[in-house]
Homo-oligomer: A and B are copies of this chain.
Amino acid sequence: MVASQGPDAVFPPSASPSSRGSEDPIYHAAVIDLLGAVGYGEISAFERLAADGRMAPTLEDKVALQGMASAQYAKISPIVDRLREHGVDPYAVMEPFREAFDAFHAHTAPADWWESLVKAYVGDGLANDFYREIAGFLDNATRDLVLSTLEDSGRTEFVVERVRRGIEVEPRIAGRLALWGRRLMGEAFTQAQHVAAEREALSELLAGGHVTGLDLTTVADMFARITHRHVERMGRLGLEH
């Protein structure tokens, strides 16, 4: 199967893969890894959003976070189904990614409701950016599945409104939350590097010879774009990076 560049693809046509499909074992292993990572990411995001909802100052806020958690849940079963189609145990495939995601969440446990809100928004945004970038490297069917996990039903917009209003009422929280956003970003990159170091097929997909036109410079550009979008997101919250 040869991927065509859809309207959502962020990579130039030169990155279009020529050797993808089930006949390429490294590509196949990378896709399994990627779906496993996305799947466990969703499970752990559900768990964190649900737990952080307990810090909500109002019932309405709590329900909003429960809604964000449930939106994560809705994305799990398509991933599980696709992994089964690939003939693997979906939950076994997710296991290697538990450590990195759990470490991310352990190192970024929000101290209060504001930190929970910013984490929900920034974490969701970073994950979406990363998946959107990765999608450019994938065959059509896998790309469509990964892009379908990006559907933003506008649930996160309440975060923007809440944080901006919070800063208006209590301007002193802005500095702390700006630092918090930076820490979230740093921790996400740290854990992504751990995963890349440990999962050879995945990092080969990203940096190796399996995709024409893709090399370490391309990966550096990708991280630069993700950082850029993170800064934009912080700006929408009314926070400096």
Grouping DSSP codes into helix (H, G, I), strand (E, B) and loop, the A interface class, with mixed when no group exceeds half, is helix
User: A70: which B residues are within 8 A, CB to CB?
Assistant: 69-70, 73-74
For the complex formed by this chain, how many copies does it contain in all?
2
- Interface: A46 (CB within 8 A): yes
Is A67 an interface position by the 8 A CB rule? yes
A51 and B59 CA atoms in complex are apart in Å by 17
Report whether B46 and A91 are in contact in the complex, using a CB–CB cutoff of 8 Å: no
Q: Which residues of B contact A50 (CB under 8 A)?
A: 46-47, 50-51, 66, 69
User: Shortest CB–CB separation between residue A30 and chain B, in angstroms?
Assistant: 21
CB–CB B47/A95 < 8 A: no
- A224 close to B (CB within 8 Å): no
The 8 Å CB contact of A91, one of B43, B54, B60, B69, is B60
- Does the CB pair A63–B47 fall under 8 Å? no
Which residues does chain B contribute within 8 Å of A73, judged by CB atoms? Answer: 63, 66-67, 69-70
Find chain B residues with CB under 8 A from A60 CB: 91
Interface residues of A (CB under 8 A from B): 40, 43, 46-47, 50-51, 53-54, 58-60, 62-63, 66-67, 69-70, 73-74, 76, 80, 91, 94-95
4 A-B pairs closest in CB distance: A50-B50, A59-B91, A70-B70, A70-B73
